[in-house]
Amino acid sequence: MLSALFNYQEGYEAATRLLQQNAKACSEGSFEREQTLQFLNEVHHRHSIWHPGPKVIVRRFLDHARQAFPDNTQFLSTGLWHQLQSGLRGPVHDLIHRLTEPQGTLQGILWALWAEGVAAIDIYAPGSGGASRIRAAIRRALSSHV
């Protein structure tokens, strides 16, 4: 991973290519693969902050990383940050709904409840719906795991 940082000096593409190769070399679902994808996530995220460009690159990567490791809160939180920065609330609410479904894990449910609060523009403002969305997510999570 240290070599990826040195490659980043040559260019963003060189660093991400090296990290993608490292991730592919790791076995599916392994801790090493998850760590490599987390580091690649950090590179993508920092680069997108410093050098705004097409959001589709980060979005595709995050979709792939969340499929491989659905309960990884780093991938979930980075995706949440990017969606909220772009002003898109629909994908965030879809993800929260999916994580609170009956097959959801406790870690995913806790993150979803936290994310619902973060995504609410103003939890208690009249008409914002923030508090009711959080209550609905709690009810959905509790009813699916009782």
> What is the percent of the chain with per-residue pLDDT over 90, rounded to a whole number?
26
Spatial contact of 23 and 41, defined as CB atoms under 8 Å apart: no
H or E element at residue 84:
helix 73-86
pLDDT band at 9 (very low <50, low <70, confident <90, very high): low
Q: Where are the domains positioned within the chain?
A: 1-87, 89-146
Tell me how many helices (H) and strands (E) the chain has: 8, 0
Q: Which pLDDT tens digit goes with each residue over 80-120?
A: 988 888 877 778 888 888 888 888 788 888 999 888 888 87
- The CA distance from 19 to 1, in Å, is 7
Helix (H, G, I), strand (E, B) or coil at 26: coil
What pLDDT is recorded for position 118?
Answer: 83
- The CA distance from 95 to 98, in Å, is 5
How many CB atoms are located within 10 Å of the residue 32 CB? 12
**Residue 138 burial by Cβ neighbours in a 10 Å radius (0-12, 13-18, 19+):** middle
How many CB atoms are located within 10 Å of the residue 54 CB? 9
Record the pTM: 0.79
